[in-house]
Structures are given as C-alpha cells and as structure tokens.
Amino acid sequence: MSRPPTQLESAIRRLRKADPLRPVHVVVPSHLLGAWLAPRLFADTGHLGVHFLELHELAWKVAAPRVLPEGRGRVPENVDLALLLAEAREATAAAGTPDYLKDAAGMAGFAPAALRTLQALASAGVTPEALETHAPASADPERLRLLARMARGLQSRFESAGLLDRASLFRAAAEALPSVELGSVILVQPADVPPVAAMFLEAVKAHHPLAIVGEGPPPTVAPRHNSRLRTLRERLGQPAKDPEKESKGPAGTSLTRLQQGLFDRAGRGTGATGEGKGPAAL
C-alpha cells in the first residue's frame, strides 16, 4: 500500500510538472538532514536528479563556472584561519593598539572567535569603513579599529590568493545567475539566513522556480532570528503560515525557552505521512 506524498515530494512534483527531468536542488540546513532525507524521498520508486546540499554549496555550484576560469576558488578548510592568524599579528602590531588586545590576540581561542565575528560582519554587509566610522562612539573604540584592520587585511589576503570568502561567494553566485544546471530550488526548514545569502536567494527566485518546505527551527530556540526569517520568506513570496504566533514564542527565561525547544517532543512528527514538525513532516 503506497503512502501519501510528503511535503517535499509534493513540492518536487509541482516543480517538475512541466518538465519531469528538471534538476531539483534541495537546500538543507545540514548534511545530516540531507543524508536522512535522501533514502526516504520517493521510497517506493526512487528518485533521479534530486540533489541535497547546503546553501553555500549551492552558491558555489552556480558561481564555479564563472569564477574558476578567472583563477578564483573557495577558501579551503582552515586556510582562512591561518590567514587570519597572520593578519592578527600585523594588525595588533599597529601603533596605538592597547596591550590587552595584543594579549588577547595571543590566546588560543582568539583567531576562531575573530574569524566568526568577521564572517558575520561581512555577511551582514558591515564594511571596515563602517567599523571605523562607528568606533569613536563605541564603548571600546580600539577593538572596533582592530576589527576593521583585520577585516581589511584578511580580504586583501583572500584577493591576493584568488580566494572567495563566504560573503564574496554569495555575491559572485548572484551575478552568475541564471544557471543552466540549476533547474529548481527547494529550501528545507530554512534557518537564520544572513543578508548576503538572502540577496542570493532573491536572485535565484528571479531566474529559477523556488519553493520552501518546512517552517524552520522552533522559535523557542532563537526568537531574535524570527523577524529576519519572516522577512526572508516574505521577500521570496512565501510568508510563514502564522508569523504573529511565530514571532512571539513562549514566555519564560531564555534558558526555559532553550530547554523547551531542545527537549520538548510534543508536536514533533514521527510518522511518514508528513504530519508534525520534525524531519518526518518533510
């Protein structure tokens, strides 16, 4: 006895209605979810031409045919960390850098934390010039100036090596659209998407069919991200079902909301019919 189609299967069928062989790229928040979904999708018949990948991997697939002939490529694993370590030594040697920042730069966790900060700033469109402009009015002007120097120097090192950081990759991918190999795109349980990635998704929607499946992470875990996620869905033409309810979330402390979001199993789907909010609902 065949089972009813899941949300993801129904979305794929809709996107392939005019062309059964149209490639479909399913963007998942993690490889683990993609590995879980792949063997369960169309379990009765199997599937062909459906690819599971993360958002930055989709961006690379679009950008690669354009940037590789130009001699540019993605940043290999940990290379950005090595470049930042080298840049941090130069940036902290600048005149006027306080001793506490020099000491912090020598600590084991400084480079990974600084790299995550610089990546978040770049993804949000915050430039080194903006950091320097706001430094005088900040609580710690020298720290912002150090971040600005490191951001500028790291970007220069990327350009010299012909490497694209994550923010530059999304911009290059948006410029490379439309893509003859992309076909259709489905976002599965979209999480918090930085502005530069949202810009890429808007460009994808302008040239290719795009659908959203799943409501994303529970609002109890990170309620401050709900507004950006709702805005993304609206910009992509697929608003959340109940944005008002989604934005409020439950009352209580942040620890209470986190515990409830992580461990409360109520309402999570366990069947194969697409009911509930867990992976089975897809």
Task: Concatenate the DSSP letters of all residues of 240-277 into one string.
Answer: -S-HHHHHH---S-HHHHHHHHHH--TT---SSSS-SS
User: Could you give the angle at which helices 195-207 and 226-235 cross, rounded to 10 degrees?
Assistant: 20
Provide the pLDDT for residue 194. Answer: 87
pTM of the model: 0.79
Provide the pLDDT for residue 244. Answer: 47
Provide the pLDDT for residue 269. Answer: 47
Provide the pLDDT for residue 161. Answer: 96
Provide the pLDDT for residue 189. Answer: 83
Averaged over 227-233, what is the pLDDT?
78
Rounded CA separation 114/271 (Å) = 43
Provide the pLDDT for residue 230. Answer: 79
Rounded CA separation 272/282 (Å) = 9
pLDDT at 238 over 90: no
Summarised one tens digit per residue, pLDDT across range 104-158 is 999 989 999 999 999 999 998 999 999 999 999 999 999 999 999 999 999 999 9
Rounded CA separation 253/88 (Å) = 37
Lowest-confidence pick of 23-32, 121-130, 214-223, 228-237: 214-223
H helix intervals, the chain: 7-15, 31-37, 55-67, 79-92, 99-105, 110-123, 128-134, 141-161, 166-176, 195-207, 226-235, 243-248, 254-263
Give the list of residues 6+ apart from residue 216 with CB closer than 8 angstroms, or none: 189, 190, 191, 229
pLDDT at 253 over 70: no
> Is the CB of residue 140 less than 8 Å from the CB of residue 26?
no
pLDDT at 159 over 70: yes
Higher pLDDT, 21 or 231: 21
pLDDT band, residue 219 (cuts 50/70/90): low
Provide the pLDDT for residue 270. Answer: 45
Q: What percent of the chain has pLDDT over 70?
A: 79
Give the list of residues 6+ apart from residue 233 with CB closer than 8 angstroms, or none: 190, 212, 239, 240
Place of tokens 């944005």: 243
pLDDT at 237 over 90: no
End-to-end CA distance of the chain: 20
pLDDT band, residue 65 (cuts 50/70/90): very high
Place of tokens 């320097």: 132
Provide the pLDDT for residue 1. Answer: 43
Please give the mean pLDDT across all residues of the chain.
85
| Strand 24-27 with 184-188, pairing | parallel
pLDDT band, residue 183 (cuts 50/70/90): very high
Averaged over 78-94, what is the pLDDT?
94
- The three-class DSSP label of residue 98 is coil
DSSP state of 17: S
Give the list of residues 6+ apart from residue 18 with CB closer than 8 angstroms, or none: none
Averaged over 239-262, what is the pLDDT?
55
Give the list of residues 6+ apart from residue 38 with CB closer than 8 angstroms, or none: 50, 52
Averaged over 163-186, what is the pLDDT?
95
